[in-house]
C-alpha cells in the first residue's frame, strides 16, 4: 500500500509538532514514511485529496455488538468491521452478545481469527460467567491468555454479590478487567423505560434511577473491599456520576462509559412510541443527560461508546412493550459528538480508552505504524438510511442533523475510504 494524504489537518493534542497543522502524509507498507508541508510522491501512489481533510490517530469504541456467531442476520463480523472502519474506528471492543456466548478460550480464538485480515482491530470481551447465566465464573484466565481484553455478561446484571467479589479477587491476580452492568433486577422489575413523568403519561412500566444506582453502589463497595479493576459500562443517571466521582477520590481502580444516545436523547423521545428509542439502560431525563455531558467534560466518565447493537427489523417493528432494546451507533457517532462538543474534545473522546484494555495507543509520527482516521468536521447533513452500512437499520439517529463525517481509516496496511 502506497498512500499520500494531501493537505491534511492533523488533530492530535498530544503532538505539539503537528497539532492543527496542515501536512502531507506519506504512508508506505503500513508505515508513516514522511510528514511534511508538501510532498511530491510518484510511483503508483494513491492520493487522497479531500477539500477539508482532517486526520487523527484511529478512533476506538469500548462497546460494540455484532451478531456472528448465531445472529448473522443482525450483523456478520466482516460487515461489522467494515462498518466500523467506514465510520472512522480502527479498534473496537466486541461485546459477548452472540449465540453461543464466548465463555472459553476457543471462542475468543475464533473471534480473533475471524477478524485477522481486517483493517479494523477486533478486541473481544469474554463473558464473566458461564453462558452469561450469572452462576459460575467462566474461564477468565484462559480467555485472557487467548486475547480477551475483559469480562462482561452483556447487559445482564450479576445478582450474586459474592460472585462479583470472587471475580474481582480472581481477576486481580492477572490484571483482568471485570465489567458489571449496573442494574438491580428486582428494583427494575418489568420496567422498560425510565420511571418518571413521561412513563406515567404513556402508561409504560418504568425503571427508576435507583435500579442502576443501587447496583452500582454495591459494586463500588465490593471493589473497595477486594481491590482489582472494575469497569461500569453505559451509566445513565446523574447520581451514578456522583457515586463514581466519590469512588475515584478514594483511589478505587474504577472506570465507566456512557452511550452516546444517552447524551443527546431523553425520555421525552418516547412520546411517539417509536421502538427505536427502546434502549437499555433507558433514556433518562434532561437533568441526567446534562449530568452525563458534564461528567465527560470533568473526566469522571472515562469513555463514550456507541453501544452499537444491531437488531433485525422483526425485533423492532412490533408493539413497544415487545420490541427488543438497542440501537446501532457506529455510523452516527462522530456527527453526533461533534454537535455536542468542540472538535478537540470530540477527537479526544473518540481516541480514549485503549490503555484501560491493555491495547497499544497509536502514534502519529514518522516511522510508526499508520493507524489513522480520516474525517471532515464541517460537513452538515441529515442522517438517513443511506448513511448506514450496518446490516440492521435500527438507529435512533435517523432524521437527526449531523455535523462532521468520517471519511475512512488506514489500518493494518489497508485503506477503507
Q: Which residue has the cell 498512500?
A: 3
Spatial distance between the Cα atoms of 398 and 382, rounded to a whole number of angstroms: 8
Give the CA count within 13 Å in the CB-facing half-sphere of 94: 32
67-83 exposure pattern, b = at least 16 Cβ within 10 A, e = fewer: bbbebeebbbbebbbbb
Strand partners, 369: 31
**161 touches 129 (CB < 8 A):** no
Is residue 226 left, alpha or beta, with left meaning phi > 0 and alpha meaning psi from -120 to 50?
alpha
Give the CA count within 13 Å in the CB-facing half-sphere of 400: 22
Query: Residue 249 has which C-alpha cell?
Result: 477520590
Identify whether 312 is a catalytic site residue. no
Question: Which of the residues 61, 103, 302, 307 is marked catalytic?
Answer: 307
The β-bridge relationship of strands 401-411 and 372-382 is antiparallel
**323 touches 275 (CB < 8 A):** yes
Active-site positions read 307
Amino acid at each position: 500500500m502506497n498512500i499520500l494524504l494531501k493537505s491534511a489537518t492533523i488533530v492530535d493534542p498530544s503532538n505539539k509538532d503537528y497539532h492543527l497543522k496542515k501536512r502531507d502524509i506519506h504512508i508506505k507498507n503500513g508505515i508513516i514514511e514522511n510528514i511534511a508541508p508538501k510532498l511530491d510522491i510518484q510511483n503508483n501512489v494513491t492520493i487522497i485529496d479531500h477539500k477539508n481533510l482532517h486526520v487523527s490517530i484511529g478512533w476506538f469504541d469500548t462497546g460494540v455488538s455484532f451478531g456472528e456467531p448465531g445472529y448473522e442476520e443482525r450483523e456478520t463480523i466482516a460487515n461489522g468491521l467494515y462498518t466500523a472502519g467506514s465510520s472512522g474506528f480502527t479498534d473496537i471492543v466486541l461485546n459477548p452478545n452472540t449465540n453461543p456466548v464466548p465463555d472459553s478460550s476457543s471462542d475468543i480464538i475464533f473471534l480473533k481469527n475471524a477478524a485477522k485480515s481486517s483493517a479494523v482491530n477486533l478486541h473481544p470481551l469474554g463473558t464473566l460467567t458461564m453462558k452469561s447465566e450469572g452462576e459460575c465464573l467462566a474461564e477468565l484466565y484462559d480467555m485472557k491468555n487467548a486475547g480477551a481484553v475483559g469480562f462482561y455478561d452483556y447487559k445482564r446484571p450479576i445478582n450474586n454479590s459474592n460472585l462479583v467479589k470472587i471475580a474481582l479477587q480472581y481477576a486481580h491476580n492477572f490484571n483482568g478487567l471485570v465489567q458489571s452492568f449496573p442494574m438491580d433486577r428486582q428494583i427494575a422489575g418489568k420496567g422498560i423505560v425510565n420511571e418518571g413523568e413521561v412513563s406515567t403519561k404513556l402508561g409504560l412500566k418504568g425503571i427508576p434511577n435507583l435500579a442502576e444506582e443501587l447496583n452500582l453502589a454495591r459494586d463500588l463497595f465490593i471493589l473497595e473491599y477486594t481491590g482489582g479493576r472494575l469497569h461500569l459500562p453505559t451509566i445513565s443517571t446523574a447520581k451514578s456520576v456522583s457515586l463514581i466521582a466519590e469512588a475515584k477520590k478514594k483511589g478505587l481502580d474504577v472506570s465507566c462509559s456512557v452511550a452516546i444516545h444517552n447524551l443527546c436523547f431523553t425520555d421525552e423521545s418516547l412520546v411517539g412510541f417509536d421502538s427505536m428509542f427502546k434502549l437499555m439502560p433507558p433514556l433518562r431525563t434532561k437533568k441526567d443527560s446534562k449530568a452525563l455531558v458534564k461528567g465527560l467534560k470533568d473526566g469522571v466518565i472515562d469513555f463514550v461508546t456507541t453501544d452499537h447493537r444491531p437488531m433485525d427489523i422483526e425485533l423492532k417493528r412490533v408493539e413497544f412493550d415487545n420490541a427488543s432494546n438497542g440501537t446501532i451507533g457506529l455510523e452516527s457517532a462522530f456527527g453526533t459528538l461533534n454537535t455536542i462538543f468542540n472538535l478537540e474534545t470530540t477527537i479526544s473522546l473518540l481516541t480514549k480508552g485503549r490503555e484501560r484494555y491493555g491495547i497499544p495507543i497509536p502514534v502519529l509520527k514518522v516511522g510508526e505504524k499508520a493507524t489513522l482516521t480520516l474525517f471532515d468536521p464541517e460537513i452538515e447533513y441529515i442522517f438517513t438510511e443511506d448513511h448506514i452500512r450496518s446490516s440492521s437499520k435500527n438507529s435512533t439517529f435517523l432524521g437527526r442533523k449531523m455535523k462532521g463525517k468520517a471519511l475512512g481509516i488506514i489500518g493494518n496496511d489497508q485503506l477503507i475510504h
